[in-house]
Amino acid sequence: QKEVEQNSGPLSVPEGAIASLNCTYSDRGSQSFFWYRQYSGKSPELIMFIYSNGDKEDGRFTAQLNKASQYVSLLIRDSQPSDSATYLCAVRYLTGGYNKLIFGAGTRLAVHP
Amino acid sequence: DGGITQSPKYLFRKEGQNVTLSCEQNLNHDAMYWYRQDPGQGLRLIYYSQIVNDFQKGDIAEGYSVSREKKESFPLTVTSAQKNPTAFYLCASSGTSGAASYNEQFFGPGTRLTVL
């Protein structure tokens, strides 16, 4: 059973701080990793994807991947109240020639002024 | 504008009724997916399709059916056999190239189904 685990939170950070969101996965053969943001009552939207070990930066967001530890994280610098949402980690794997994503349950982030 | 549309936004169903949720995309994507989301939980895969006239069961296919007669369309039917259908249903699409970026799944706005 392939699994993706996230702390459900809520993770509460003050405005301007760094928010750190973590995700672990069970399938060592997984190749691609995605972070989605989901506002309450809305559909998920992609923030970043990463497939190489190390860091990938995009504006205030940094994704970090450590395949040896089966660990992927998302850092949000200078957190804003508008960043308050649920962040979903997703892991891609191949089965029978089909690409599938497995999603974690998400971490709820609350940024307070 | 390219994107994914789902209709209706809200749907109410009486027990014992079948209902069909619509999903249309104009992104020219080959792959389409249906997910179910329950409060406080992640997305669970119901069905997926990588090409017209082909689809595969996901992790929770029981009580659901799909068709893929056109590339742009992937409707989901929630049958009376689905014991607890009240949930938020999300349709997604993606490319099928080997490049990681092409596996990004774009989501529609969702349909919230409530069984009365």
Report the alpha-carbon distance of residue B66 to residue B81 in Å, rounded. 14
Contact between B42 and A105 using a beta-carbon 8 Å cutoff = yes
Give per-residue pLDDT as tens, A19-31: 999 999 998 888 8
Contact between B56 and A4 using a beta-carbon 8 Å cutoff = no
Shortest CA gap A80–chain B (Å): 23
Shortest CA gap A73–chain B (Å): 17
Residue B116, class by beta-carbon neighbours within 10 Å (0-12 exposed, 13-18 middle, 19+ buried)?
exposed
Task: Check the CA dihedral B39-A47-B47-A8 and report its sign.
Answer: negative
Give per-residue pLDDT as tens, A59-75: 999 999 999 999 999 99
How many C-beta atoms surround the C-beta of residue B56 within 10 A? Answer: 16
Is residue A97 within 8 A of residue B101, CB to CB? The reply is no
Shortest CA gap B6–chain A (Å): 11
Q: Best of B30, B104, B106, B114 to disrupt the A interface by mutation (most A CBs within 10 Å)?
A: B104
DSSP H helical ranges for chain A: none
Q: What is the DSSP letter of B53?
A: T
Residues of B in contact with A106 (CB under 8 A): 42
Candidates B105, B103, B45; CA nearest to A4 is: B45
Shortest CA gap A113–chain B (Å): 25
Give per-residue pLDDT as tens, B62-87: 999 999 999 999 999 999 888 899 99
Instruction: List per-residue pLDDT tens for chain A, 113 residues long.
Output: 778 999 988 999 999 999 999 999 998 888 889 999 999 999 999 999 998 899 999 999 999 999 999 999 999 999 999 999 999 999 988 777 777 889 999 999 999 99
Q: Using CB atoms, which residue from B42, B100, B107 is nearest to A104?
A: B42
Residue B110, class by beta-carbon neighbours within 10 Å (0-12 exposed, 13-18 middle, 19+ buried)?
buried
- The answer to whether residue B75 neighbours chain A at the CB level (below 8 Å) is no
Q: Best of B33, B35, B43, B97 to disrupt the A interface by mutation (most A CBs within 10 Å)?
A: B43
H or E element, residue B101: none
